[in-house]
Structure 1
């Protein structure tokens, strides 16, 4: 069989990032870092250092998803388009430990964590508690674990778990999530935990464009007013400084294109991340916890307006760019009409000059006929004198006088014939130029 060379890759792609399988209790930490391709290569070398410290060298090449399993400690590194995530899972949790006293980073040297290449966007701890055989943590204990911050909570997966979070940074610089396992298996718990971590990561990635949208908004207002003034000048004033207007339009267009170049990818990424967040929220199938907003309600109330602000800025940039193009077309049309008018005036002036030159040419032709006739009559006079001196019975004065009208008529006819000959040649050239 003729097998497509990408067939194996297409099958492997569906299994490149498998769901976590996490028992409870457990402590999980995820860090998401914005990084370039050079940073990703440096991260791979940095990961080798950790494996050497833990006594288990890497036996794999750099992959989009790398997993390291050391019994009670697991590490996963996933490469995405513009960021990389590290997920640390610590299963060695003391029975009497506070929810965030032990984290996924506890087995990792602090210096190694601080030197990971890239810029941290998301960093949060997940405390997974087991309530299958005993009671779940009481609300005062949960509030204390979140440093008395306002909580967002829900019961996802039809009440098989309880999730608490604050969507804020805590005193250790990390965000916090608590997942209480009530009736879930390890694989179900792993899928739920992964969805929650993706929601938090994609939420922050989606909000990266919000500061840009806020900074571009005043500039868009200024350029919008400026473009309105230019359009009003074009519509109301008959004589405008076209060079100055074109200079303003070029400056405005360059500024808009500069903003578009910086923001197009970021705004498009925001839209994509927001759709991923909404998809993960639907998969949670949340039930409300009395007195608390669910994660979906919180996201809908806070994240969606921010994303719409970014969308509005993106659409406004595109709309302003199109309007500048239309005004530029109007200016070009105005300039072209002015050029056509100048050309028409120039052609009219050339036509007047051609008529004057033609009249002058006819005058010169008349004078040339007289001059040529004068010289020809003079030559004939010498001829008549020579014939008279040779004995030819001739009245040289009468012959000279009679030759004058004959010479004038002959010279005039020859001149007209030459004139008509050149006119025919010009007409032939004009007809030949008009043919395709």
Structure 2
């Protein structure tokens, strides 16, 4: 039987597109269990080191070393499981101890105890999110009262809710504890192992994404006062331009230089923060969808996770969004003011050019008048020298025996020479003017010819 895939051209990314939806499957987690989740921000070099470091863990524990790099890798070692995921700007390790011993304190035993300490200390990247999660089976262990839960969170204020329509209860503090990590406590009341895995995945993503979203807040706080100063400076410049007709002493080129410097600062801020602000918006949207999936109910007057994050996280995200929009607004205003200033400077330059051309035209007229005067004087000078030469010629002829009235001959010669010199001079003058006119016409034709072809 011939398959259709043997008849058609197959897109090279088709298989990858199918597998992408299954690249990060939900885990199946039994209860009770102990989970430790670590999210590390990494650069491109550290991303490559992460998988080599994961291979080293297999070598240390005596297991087969994985060869193919994937975005999500999961392996069970005897009594604990490790899940490694690679994201755009961070990687995560989820460690699950599958058979914890009963204890009075659910956080006394953590999944970190299953890892070699030297391997853990050499993890590439900077830790952003890290917390322990204790999962208890409320069907076998009696669920404690909130007053009994509080000591496990070092007397910190609790945030808790009944999740998934009461099928599980969640406790957390959203704070760091003595070991430098956060804590979550989940009591499984009705969930299957696969449902519990989906709940754990949502909690892990909420805690990781909320911290990644807040990475932009220090940048927003840092540049916000600088944007205020730039806003005041821009208002002053635009006000100066608006009232320039009443203040003719304004240096437009100096204002343009100031606007150009301001535009450079704005672009520097945008280059530093655009990715971070965009990532914050994306993380906030993912957190919102995860919170909706929890379907929380309040527990005895405690804030739910949704309520707490709405009061604390969303204002921070809104601050980043407001700073990002303000940065874009200042950038647009600087561009408009710069365009207006360039237009004014261009108009001023054109006015100066017109005045310069007018002055040059006036000087040309004066030079032309002087030229005509010089031409008149030159006619007299040339005529004087030619009459002198004619006088020598008449005397030579008279000396050879030609008899004529020398005074009369000289009187006739003078007007003839003057008229001849004037005519020759005018002819040369008109000849040069005709040559200049023909050259101008040729230049005009050469410039007009490409436009005619177009």
With the shorter chain as reference, the TM-score category is: over 0.9
SS in 1 for 2:267: helix
The answer on 1:211 being equivalent to 2:218 is: yes
CA displacement, residues 331-377 of structure 1 (integer Å, 9 cap, x when unaligned):
32232233222222221221121111101100111011112222222
CA displacement, residues 122-154 of structure 1 (integer Å, 9 cap, x when unaligned):
001111111235543322222222222222222
Q: Distance in 2 between matches of 1:112 and 1:52?
A: 11
Q: Which moved more, 1:321-330 or 1:237-246?
A: 237-246
How many residue pairs get matched?
A: 436
Q: Distance in 1 between matches of 2:224 and 2:141?
A: 53
2:155 aligned partner: 148
The answer on 1:47 being equivalent to 2:47 is: no
| Structure 1 residue corresponding to 2:348, chosen from 333, 338, 342 | 338
Q: Distance in 2 between matches of 1:405 and 1:155?
A: 127
1:37 aligned partner: 44
The answer on 1:384 being equivalent to 2:394 is: yes
2:452 aligned partner: none
Q: How does 1:26-105 map to 2 (within 5 A)?
A: 26-105=33-112
CA displacement, residues 376-403 of structure 1 (integer Å, 9 cap, x when unaligned):
2223323333333333342222122112
Cα 1:97/1:55, change in 2 over 3 Å: farther
Deviation of 1:26 (Å):
0.6
Q: Is the 8 A contact 1:147 1:170 kept in 2?
A: yes
The answer on 1:428 being equivalent to 2:438 is: yes
The answer on 1:224 being equivalent to 2:234 is: no
2:3 aligned partner: none
Q: Is the 8 A contact 1:75 1:88 kept in 2?
A: yes
RMSD, aligned α-carbons: 1.8
Q: Is the 8 A contact 2:55 2:66 kept in 1?
A: no
Q: Which moved more, 1:393-402 or 1:204-213?
A: 393-402
Q: Which moved more, 1:226-235 or 1:122-131?
A: 226-235
CA displacement, residues 187-238 of structure 1 (integer Å, 9 cap, x when unaligned):
1110110011001100000000001101111111111112222223333332
Q: Distance in 1 between matches of 2:186 and 2:332?
A: 49
Q: How does 1:126-145 map to 2 (within 5 A)?
A: 126-133=133-140, 135-145=142-152
Structure 2 unaligned regions, length at least 5? 1-7, 449-454
The answer on 1:355 being equivalent to 2:365 is: yes
1:403 aligned partner: 413
Deviation of 1:243 (Å):
4.8
The answer on 1:21 being equivalent to 2:2 is: no
Deviation of 1:242 (Å):
4.0
Q: Distance in 1 between matches of 2:96 and 2:355?
A: 84
Q: Is the 8 A contact 1:387 1:394 kept in 2?
A: no
Structure 1 length as normaliser, TM-score? 0.95
Deviation of 1:19 (Å):
0.8
The answer on 1:416 being equivalent to 2:426 is: yes
2:265 aligned partner: 255
Deviation of 1:410 (Å):
2.0
Q: Which moved more, 1:103-112 or 1:234-243?
A: 234-243
Q: Distance in 1 between matches of 2:265 and 2:141?
A: 63
CA displacement, residues 31-56 of structure 1 (integer Å, 9 cap, x when unaligned):
00011122122222322332223221
